[in-house]
Amino acid sequence: MEHVITAIRTVLDPEIPVNVYDLRLIYDIAINDVNVAEIEMTLTAPGCPVARELVGWVQRAVNDVSGIDAVVVRLVFDPPWDTSRMSEEARLELGFM
């Protein structure tokens, strides 16, 4: 699982220069018995102009992880994302603390 998280951390939200994992846009990661990574993620806003690209970037990053045979990324909007979800590292990086 740690390799998947490391891969996801390479994906930056283009509007906020922080990775999507520390922004807490990733709600769930599961790897099933046939090495399919299933990821639930959200966006900072439902109308995000790079939604399709962001999902693709996460999918490609995780697909490159050794031992992962396929990746399914699902966009969810419940619960809605807000800045209170960010990791402490992201808050520090963005000057929210």
Average pLDDT over residues 3-8: 98
Tell me the backbone φ, ψ of residue 57, rounded to 5 degrees.
Answer: -65, -45
* Mean pLDDT, rounded, of the chain: 94
Name the strand (E) or helix (H) holding 72. Answer: strand 70-75
Half-sphere exposure of 77 toward its Cβ, with a 13 Å CA cutoff? Answer: 6
Residue 44: CB atoms within 10 A of its CB come to 19
Q: What is the pLDDT of residues 73-86, one digit of tens each?
A: 999 999 999 989 99
Domains in the chain: boundaries: 2-79
34 pLDDT tier (thresholds 50, 70, 90):
very high
Q: What is the pLDDT of residues 38-74, one digit of tens each?
A: 999 999 988 888 889 999 999 999 999 999 999 999 9
Classify the phi-psi angles of 24: left when phi > 0, otherwise alpha if psi is within -120 to 50, otherwise beta.
Answer: left
Does domain 2-79 correspond to CATH entry 3.30.300.130?
yes
C-alpha to C-alpha distance for 79 and 64, rounded to whole angstroms: 29
